[in-house]
Amino acid sequence: MAEEPCQCSDCQRFYKEHDRLIREFPTFKQQQELNWASIQSFRTLCSKVTNELQKKLSESESNEDITNEEKYIYDAEITEALDELESVNAYLYSIEALMERIFDTQLSDKIELKFKEVAKELAPDPLNLDRLILNRLFHQTPDFPDKKNIN
Ligand SMILES: [Zn+2]
């Protein structure tokens, strides 16, 4: 028997987002653009924050108004975050290089239609009537764990 996918709130949020991205970006080209924009926005935000933190760190070093102890705690926190962000920025840079390779691929309109078709099967509109009926049936399945004692 296949294992039930995890239904915790984090996973459910992920499934929902996953399906939404397939539904709203159902072609190969749209997925390319979406993922490129997503990597780029993540990189932009991370490097901007990295710059700001570096600025804060050098300001703090020359600031006489705060005690040495305060300075030490705050600077340590920033330094730690900067180390982490540096790794993240390096990973994002690598991902971007790989994404460029994916961007070299172009598919014909016919294949794009296949993408749209499969996307519809994978992530149908949750407000679609068929889907609502299916969901209702699914939640009434008697062997669902929390319904076991009711029957
Ligand atoms: Zn989970």
Give the pLDDT of residue 148. Answer: 44
pLDDT in tens, 7-31: 899 999 999 999 999 999 999 999 9
Q: Do 42 and 135 contact (CB within 8 A), yes or no?
A: no
Pick 3 or 7 by higher pLDDT. Answer: 7
Ligand 1 center to 135 CA (angstroms): 20
CA of 4 to the centre of ligand 1 (A): 11
Whole-number Å distance, alpha carbon 141 to ligand 1 midpoint, is 21
Phi, psi of 79 (to 5 degrees): -60, -40
The per-type count for the chain, helices as H runs and strands as E runs, is: 5, 0
pLDDT at 73 over 90: no
Q: How far is the CA of 48 from the centre of ligand 1 (A)?
A: 32
Only one residue has tokens 């991902």, namely 95
Convert the pLDDT of each residue in 78-96 to its tens digit: 999 999 999 999 999 999 9
Ligand 1: centre distance to CA 131 (Å)? 23
Give the Å distance between the CA of 16 and the centre of ligand 1.
13
State residue 151's pLDDT score: 41
Residue located via tokens 């180390």: 83
Residue 63: its pLDDT value, please?
A: 74
Instruction: Tell me how far the alpha carbon of residue 12 lies from the centroid of ligand 1, in angstroms.
Output: 7
Cα–ligand 1 centroid distance for 19 (angstroms): 16
Task: With a cut of 60, say whether residue 105 has pLDDT above it.
Answer: yes
